[in-house]
Homo-oligomer: A and B are copies of this chain.
Amino acid sequence: MAGSMLQPGPQPPSAATDSLIEALAEVRRFIDPRLEELVAASDDVPPRLREAMRYALLAPGKRLRPALALWAAEACGSSWEAAAACAAAVEMIHAYSLVHDDLPAMDDDDLRRGRPTCHRAFDEATAILCGDALQPLAFQTLASGLPPEIAGVGCGILARAAGGGGLVGGQADDLAAEGGAVSGSPEARLEALERIHRRKTGALFSASLALGGLAGGGNAQFSAAIERYGRAFGLAFQIADDLLDAEGTQEAMGKRVGKDADRGKLTFPVVLGIDESRRRARRLADEAAEACGGLGGRGEKLAALAHWIVHRSH
Say whether, besides A49-B168, A103-B128, A143 and B136 are in contact (CB < 8 Å). no
Q: Are A168 and B44 in contact (CB under 8 A)?
A: no
Q: Are B169 and A133 in contact (CB under 8 A)?
A: yes
Q: Are A49 and B172 in contact (CB under 8 A)?
A: yes
By a CB distance below 8 angstroms, the chain B residues around A133 are 163-164, 168-169
Name which of A53, A144, A158, A164 has the most chain B CB atoms within 10 A of its CB: A164
Contact of A218 with B by CB under 8 A = no
Prevailing SS type, chain A contact patch:
helix
Contact of A243 with B by CB under 8 A = no
Q: Are B132 and A158 in contact (CB under 8 A)?
A: no
By a CB distance below 8 angstroms, the chain B residues around A154 are 152
Q: Are B172 and A159 in contact (CB under 8 A)?
A: no
By a CB distance below 8 angstroms, the chain B residues around A42 are 163-165
Write the chain B residue with the least CB distance to A156.
B143
**CA–CA, A140 and B139, complex, Å:** 10
Interface residues of A in 75-112 (CB under 8 A from B): 97, 100, 103, 105-106
Write the chain B residue with the least CB distance to A143.
B156
- Chain A, residues 126-149, CB within 8 Å of chain B (1/0): the string is 101101110111011011101011
- How many copies make up the complex? 2
Q: Are B131 and A158 in contact (CB under 8 A)?
A: no
Q: Are A100 and B132 in contact (CB under 8 A)?
A: yes
By a CB distance below 8 angstroms, the chain B residues around A143 are 152-153, 155-156, 159
Say whether, besides A45-B164, A152-B155, A125 and B140 are in contact (CB < 8 Å). no
Among B43, B105, B172, point to the contact of A165 (Cβ < 8 A): B43
Q: Are A175 and B140 in contact (CB under 8 A)?
A: no
Say whether, besides A164-B45, A175-B125, A140 and B156 are in contact (CB < 8 Å). yes
Write the chain B residue with the least CB distance to A138.
B159
Q: Are A153 and B159 in contact (CB under 8 A)?
A: no
Write the chain B residue with the least CB distance to A171.
B129
- Chain A, residues 160-186, CB within 8 Å of chain B (1/0): the string is 101111101101110110000000000
Q: Are B48 and A169 in contact (CB under 8 A)?
A: no
Contact of A297 with B by CB under 8 A = no
23 pairs of residues in contact across A and B, judged by CB atoms under 8 Å: A42-B165, A44-B169, A45-B164, A45-B169, A49-B172, A125-B175, A129-B168, A132-B132, A132-B135, A133-B168, A135-B162, A136-B164, A136-B168, A139-B156, A139-B158, A139-B159, A140-B159, A143-B152, A144-B156, A148-B149, A148-B153, A151-B153, A152-B154
The chain A residues found within 8 Å of chain B, CB to CB, are 42-46, 48-50, 53, 97, 100, 103, 105-106, 123-126, 128-129, 131-133, 135-137, 139-140, 142-144, 146, 148-156, 158-160, 162-166, 168-169, 171-173, 175-176, 199
